[in-house]
Amino acid sequence: MNKNAPFYILCAVGGLAIFSSTIAKNPTLPILAQEIGASKAAIGLIAAASTVTGILTSLPAGLLSDRRGRRPLLIASGLVFFSAPLLYFFIHSAWQLALVRIYHGLATAVFGPVAMAYVADLAPVRRGERLGYYTSATLVGRTVAPVVGGAILTGLGAWQGVYVVCAGAGLLALVGMFLLPEPKAAPMAAAEKVGRAPLRAVFANRNILVTSVAEAAQFLAFGALEAFLPLYALSVGVNEAAVGLLFGVQVGVRTLARPLMGILSDRYGRKGPIVLGLGLTGATMALFAQAQAWWALLGLSLAFGLGLSIASAATSAYVADLAPAEARGAALGYMSTIMDVGQATGPILLGFILAGASYPVGFAAVGAVVLGAMALFATAVSRAPSSEPYHGAAR
């Protein structure tokens, strides 16, 4: 097999897997939940169910991939990507849908950190660039899924067709996973020999924790924006189609910019891009509710997506750099867990604030959280010992 083939296969698998998981929920899940009689409160809990799975599963999945290999964990996630969509056909109540969402959440909870660790194993150099290209492949799947799901719902008038396509994409992803070899850099034997020392090193590394918190702050803002920007935009007279474009443009920017940002972090270091990205994300988040015109919201969406790309392209690479090789999966699972906590907290936090305050106050408060994380990262990492490893382009 060509030495680059595993990476290309993984990019294709990642795009299919994230397409499958996204089309299962956007825009289909609320429609299905409403059809079976779920209340609005229950719909919110159903939507959060898969994220909770990620919080509980990502770290153990990454750790297990360090001990037993990446490929078996990827295949296990592929089995869920394929089987979970079939279960939606047997749902008749809200609690059954919640259980299926918990099970379906296992797919991305396992796949996410293990696939990132696989890419890091394959890229001892140009790691940020490779992680950027891989993430862009998954963002393509995330972008296309709602469009395809909406077209199926419009054409067929029923949600069942969406889950047929969802299962088909999951099956293709599973086939691709079987084609992947175990990466030569995957350090299972070393992990068994050293025992728990590498995992303790991950938990004890302040830079890994602070970087993970920085990533969580970004996705706290993303989760809050995803939930409440449509409502704010509608309140200032933006129509539904234009609201959809705000998010489409944002994802498009992330898809195109992520590889370039990864290359820059390889060349110039991880810390500067993380600080810059957090600053841009926090500032634009605070400004959204100051904008009244669609073009202003569009410009802020572009800037927000760029901020996410700049920082996220460096955060995952930085954590992979800092982690012991035999605990790389655990470190990325650790970051993914903290990130999921942030993303799940965002809508709850902003919703709580908006219950007693205006949109400008609420959006500014969330932006302040991100800027606070930027300040924490900038000061905490700058005091880190110079001997801590950085494996960028010079490696």
Decide if pLDDT at 394 tops 50: no
Is the residue at 91 inside a domain?
yes
pLDDT of residue 61: 93
Q: Are residues 182 and 203 in the same domain?
A: no
Q: Are residues 127 and 214 in the same domain?
A: no
Q: Are residues 170 and 269 in the same domain?
A: no
Q: Are residues 24 and 129 in the same domain?
A: yes
CB 210 within 8 A of CB 125: no
Residues 6+ apart with CB under 8 A from 231: none
Confidence class for position 98, pLDDT limits 50, 70, 90: very high
Is the residue at 387 inside a domain?
no
Confidence class for position 395, pLDDT limits 50, 70, 90: very low
Range of weakest confidence among 232-236, 317-321, 369-373, 387-391: 387-391
Range of weakest confidence among 22-31, 82-91, 370-379: 22-31
Query: Between residues 47 and 369, which one has the greater pLDDT?
Result: 369
Nearest to 262 by CA among 220, 216, 310, 299: 310
* C-alpha torsion angle, residues 147, 43, 359, 253 (rounded to 10): -30
Cβ-based neighbour number of residue 368 at 10 Å: 13
Is the residue at 366 inside a domain?
yes
CB 367 within 8 A of CB 221: yes
Residues 6+ apart with CB under 8 A from 285: 221, 224, 225, 304, 363, 366, 367, 370
Q: Tell me which residue has tokens 């409403």.
A: 34
Is the residue at 16 inside a domain?
yes
Confidence class for position 32, pLDDT limits 50, 70, 90: confident
Decide if pLDDT at 50 tops 60: yes
Which CATH number fits the domain that encloses residue 101? 1.20.1250.20
Is the residue at 393 inside a domain?
no
Looking at 156, 186, 216, the residue that finishes a domain is 186
pLDDT over 90, % of the chain: 47
C-alpha to C-alpha distances, 293 to 232, 290, 341, nearest whole angstrom: 11, 10, 32
Q: Are residues 228 and 168 in the same domain?
A: no
Decide if pLDDT at 388 tops 60: no
Q: Are residues 356 and 306 in the same domain?
A: yes
Amino acid at residue number 180: L
**How many Å apart are CA 67 and CA 283, to the nearest integer?**
41
Decide if pLDDT at 308 tops 60: yes
Confidence class for position 54, pLDDT limits 50, 70, 90: confident
Decide if pLDDT at 245 tops 70: yes
pLDDT of residue 146: 81
pLDDT of residue 177: 97
Q: Are residues 231 and 329 in the same domain?
A: yes
Is the residue at 192 inside a domain?
no
Decide if pLDDT at 287 tops 90: yes
**pTM given for the model:** 0.76
Q: Are residues 210 and 164 in the same domain?
A: no
pLDDT of residue 325: 80
Mean residue pLDDT of the chain comes to: 86
pLDDT of residue 244: 66
Confidence class for position 173, pLDDT limits 50, 70, 90: very high
Is the residue at 141 inside a domain?
yes
Decide if pLDDT at 189 tops 50: no
pLDDT of residue 251: 80
Q: Are residues 111 and 203 in the same domain?
A: no
pLDDT in tens, 334-350: 998 999 899 888 888 88
Number of domains in the chain: 2
Decide if pLDDT at 188 tops 80: no
Q: Are residues 233 and 167 in the same domain?
A: no
pLDDT in tens, 255-281: 888 888 888 888 888 999 999 999 999
Q: Are residues 113 and 247 in the same domain?
A: no
Query: Between residues 364 and 238, which one has the greater pLDDT?
Result: 364
pLDDT in tens, 110-120: 999 999 999 98
Residues 6+ apart with CB under 8 A from 107: 17, 20, 21, 77, 78, 80, 81, 84, 170
Burial 80-111 (b: 16+ CB within 10 A, else e): bbbbbbebbeebeebeebbebbbbbbbbbbbb
Looking at 162, 186, 210, the residue that finishes a domain is 186
Looking at 186, 221, 255, the residue that finishes a domain is 186
Structure tokens belonging to residue 52: 């909770």
Q: Are residues 209 and 63 in the same domain?
A: no
Range of weakest confidence among 71-75, 167-171, 191-195: 191-195
* C-alpha torsion angle, residues 340, 258, 248, 276 (rounded to 10): 70
Is the residue at 392 inside a domain?
no
HEC assignment per residue over the chain: CCCCHHHHHHHHHHHHHHHHHHHCCCCHHHHHHHHCCCCHHHHHHHHHHHHHHHHHHHHHHHHHHHHHCHHHHHHHHHHHHHHHHHHHHHCCCHHHHHHHHHHHHHHHHHHHHHHHHHHHHHCCCCHHHHHHHHHHHHHHHHHHHHHHHHHHHHHHCCCHHHHHHHHHHHHHHHHHHHHCCCCCCCCHHHHHHHCCHHHHHHHHCHHHHHHHHHHHHHHHHHHHHHHHHHHHHHHCCCCHHHHHHHHHHHHHHHHHHHHHHHHHHHHHCCHHHHHHHHHHHHHHHHHHHHCCCHHHHHHHHHHHHHHHHHHHHHHHHHHHHHCCHHHHHHHHHHHHHHHHHHHHHHHHHHHHHHCCCCHHHHHHHHHHHHHHHHHHHHHHHHCCCCCCCCCCCCC
pLDDT over 70, % of the chain: 91
pLDDT of residue 277: 95
CA count, 13 A, side-chain hemisphere, 225: 30
C-alpha to C-alpha distances, 193 to 69, 198, 281, nearest whole angstrom: 14, 10, 42
Q: Determine the structural domain holding residue 101 and report its residue range.
A: 5-186
Nearest to 65 by CA among 216, 219, 141, 177: 177
